[in-house]
Chains A and B, each alone.
Chain A
Amino acid sequence: MKHTPLFGFHKGTANLTEFAGYEMPLWYTSISDEHLAVRNTAGIFDVSHMGRIVVEGPDSDRFLDRLLPTTASSQPSGKSFYTLFLTERGGIIDDLIALKISPNNYILVVNAANTEKDFDHMRAYSRGYDVRMSDTTSASTMIAVQGPHAQDTLSTLVSINLDGLKRFRNIATFVRDREATISRTGYTGEDGFEIIIHQVGMANPEPALEIWKELANTATPCGLGARDSLRIEAGYPLYGSDITEEYSLYEAELAWVISNDKHEFVGKEALDVGAGRKPERKRRGIVLDEKIPRSGFEVYAESAEKIGEITSGSFSPILRKGIGLGYLKDEDQEIGHPVRVKVRESLVGAKIVKPPFYDESLYGWKRLRER
């Protein structure tokens, strides 16, 4: 199994699990405690397993404009944006965060399990473009610092004023004395940062371990268990569960990634056909009266007709209820609508909601902005 530079910390402190070929922390103390630490104070996650593909060279803007539904060339330097890789048929190959460092210079952060597939996809379209692509995953470390106190935690390790770094922006700087790129993004619904520490990989893990331990003085180490429950509570899809090549981005409610000015990109023709039609099913959130929905559980209308399926589920430590994401048939997607979920032998009462599942005046990054 593969390891990240922070494995020396995880081994002995975490309950470990295999994820995308890596041995990763599932939880250190308790998924619920780690989850609540992120909602109430701050948590840190080792996300070094996520793929990091650097794209550089004089045609990088043009190349990514061809590849992505989002116009990369018109993004300002220092912008981090969520986007997708699509097939010619409009299917979703992966979702990613693209960090535009400067014109013709990007870091694409992709799902760990898809790094090779994405790299192959990019290479397949790169002919005729003067671009260099390199997978820097194993030569760097990536840490997410998330929660309302994330800025306080990180500010002790950087010399820049983090007030100047807005949400969905990134900056090249130093963390301690190591070259790093900090992006104000995350996968928890909270304010926070994703830090790429360059040139600190498996060959020289010590600087990464030192930075992690310093962050852990004021933030709670969190495993993949809390990462999953937090992203479900925030309503974020997970590639492989909630979005795959089988779902269109209209069904997944991700059509907003298509820039208005986009004339040509991989998958556009298929999407233009889809844009004129009403999607047959749409991604929704579901809150259960009791029990916990899991992937594959069936959703029924009150008329007992099957209307969809759960694609990922969890217990919400904030609501103290089972919550799930899933796809529901067109006529049955109305927010607030009562439905039923088949949990093993019984049908459980549930309600359709629009994620996030929590009250945004109490939790999530928007509450900080409103203050």
Chain B
Amino acid sequence: MVAGDYEIPEDLLYSREHEWARRLNGRVRVGITDYAAKTLNDVVYVSLPKLGESLAQFTVFGTVESIKAVSELYSPFSGIIVKLNEELNSHPELVNKSPYVEGWILELKPSDYQSERSALLGPADYAKHLATIATSTEHH
């Protein structure tokens, strides 16, 4: 689906901090949303965590930095990091060009997928979440 200027794929789960999670054969692939990428504009660094590191749900695992701003990355699930998108070291702009496909950031082996997924948003609720942000910005 599309909300305003932002693409929100139907088959993903979303955090309120604008990460997405895609289930892939028992793993979870994580990235940042089209909204996050467009708001940051021109991503120039993605600092990745280490392979094998274990993350708790909604804890910070890295940062995305653009010309103007730096933003922390929050893990949508608890689990162990099993894969990193090393391509981002030399091509951080993939986060802008293709936030849901080539710009993925890492893959986790989730430790408690079923119970943690309820803390995330589906595409419709994430679209509503973006609408709330847009309204609060207009009131400033």
Contacts and interface: CB of A to CB of B under 8 A. Distances in A.
Interface in A247-296: 290-292, 294
Given A314-B67, A317-B67, A30 B41 contact: yes
Given A26-B68, A225-B67, A294-B70, A31 B41 contact: yes
B17 interface: no
A314 B41 CA distance: 13
Nearest to A16: B137
Given A315-B67, A317-B67, A292 B41 contact: no
A111 interface: no
A363 interface: no
Interface in B19-69: 38-39, 41-42, 44-45, 47, 63, 65-68
Contacts of B47: 291
A229 B68 CA distance: 8
Majority-rule SS of A interface residues? mixed
B98 to A, nearest CB: 15
B58 to A, nearest CB: 19
Interface in A113-162: none
A22 to B, nearest CB: 13
B68 A31 contact: yes
B88 to A, nearest CB: 14
Contact of A292 (B38, B39, B44, B96): B44
A314 to B, nearest CB: 6
Interface residues of A, number: 19
A31 B65 contact: no
B67 A32 contact: yes
Interface string A22-36: 000011001110010
Interface in A4-50: 15, 18, 26-27, 30-32, 35
Contacts of B70: 292, 294
Interface residues of B, number: 15
B117 to A, nearest CB: 30
B42 A32 contact: yes
Contacts of A315: 42, 44-45, 65-67
Contacts, number: 44
Q: Which of B39, B66, B68 has the most CB of A within 10 A?
A: B68
B42 A31 contact: yes
B54 to A, nearest CB: 19
Contacts of A292: 44-45, 65, 67, 70
A229 B67 contact: yes
Contacts of A317: 67
A344 B47 CA distance: 12
B65 A291 contact: yes
A109 B76 CA distance: 49
B70 to A, nearest CB: 7
A138 B45 CA distance: 40
For B41, B65, B67, B70, which residue has the most chain A Cβ atoms within 10 angstroms? Answer: B67
Contacts of B65: 291-292, 315
A291 B39 CA distance: 19
Nearest to B45: A291
Nearest to A224: B68
Interface string B98-123: 00000000000000000000000000
Contacts of A15: 38-39, 41
B139 to A, nearest CB: 11
A30 B42 contact: yes
Given A292-B70, A315-B67, A317-B67, A27 B44 contact: no
- Of B41, B42, B65, B96, which is in contact with the most chain A CB atoms at under 10 Å from its CB? B42
Given A292-B65, A292-B70, A315-B67, A27 B45 contact: no
Contacts of A225: 41, 67-68
A314 B38 CA distance: 18
Interface in A191-233: 225, 228-229
Contacts of B42: 30-32, 315
Contact of B140 (A18, A26, A30, A32): A18
Q: Which 9 A-B pairs have the closest CB atoms?
A: A32-B42, A315-B44, A31-B67, A315-B67, A31-B42, A30-B42, A225-B68, A292-B65, A229-B67
Given A225-B68, A291-B47, 7 more contacts: A18-B140, A26-B41, A292-B65, A315-B42, A315-B67, A317-B67, A344-B63
Interface of B: 38-39, 41-42, 44-45, 47, 63, 65-68, 70, 96, 140
5 contacts: A26-B41, A32-B67, A292-B45, A315-B65, A315-B67
